[in-house]
């Protein structure tokens, strides 16, 4: 399993949600009014947390799950089920790269 593939998918999905939500970068808000000119071209990279608050709840939940998945990639625990500790099937990760649980545990939650 190449986690970098999933990282790319997660980042792409995150960007999609943010764009679909019509969220403007924080650079437009008061916090950065003093950072015009030369500084304006530099990305801060810390906007995600603030952006999440403005989204629909569903999207916000997915965004949070994506952030957590990215953290798990960094920690090297990505692709392991939160509930049972077993590896999550690649097919499931391909479909929902931000999932926290394997299909078996997901089915248990539904019932």
The nearest distance, CB 11 to Zn ion, in angstroms, is 25
Q: Which is nearer to Zn ion, 44 or 104 (CB)?
A: 104
DSSP string for residues in the chain: --HHHHHHHHHHHHHHHHHHTTPPPGGGSGGGTT--GGGGGS--S--HHHHHTTS-HHHHHHHHHHHHHHHHHHHT-TTB-TTT-PBPPHHHHHH-TT--S-HHHHHHHH-
**84 touches Zn ion (CB under 5 A):** yes
Q: Which is nearer to Zn ion, 63 or 81 (CB)?
A: 81
By CB under 5 A, name the one of 83, 87, 94, 107 that touches Zn ion.
83
**102 touches Zn ion (CB under 5 A):** yes
Residues that bind Zn ion (CB under 5 A): 81, 83-84, 102, 105
């Amino acid at each position: 399993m190449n986690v970098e593939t999933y990282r790319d998918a997660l980042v792409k999905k995150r960007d999609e949600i943010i764009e679909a939500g019509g969220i403007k970068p924080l650079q437009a808000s008061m916090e950065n009014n003093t950072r015009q000119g030369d500084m304006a071209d530099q990305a801060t990279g810390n906007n995600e947390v603030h952006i999440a608050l403005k989204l629909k709840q569903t999207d916000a939940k997915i965004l949070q799950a994506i952030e957590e998945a990215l953290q798990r990639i960094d920690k090297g625990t990505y692709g392991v089920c939160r509930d049972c500790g077993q590896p999550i099937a690649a097919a499931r990760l391909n479909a929902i790269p931000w999932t926290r649980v394997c299909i078996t545990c997901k089915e248990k939650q539904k019932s």
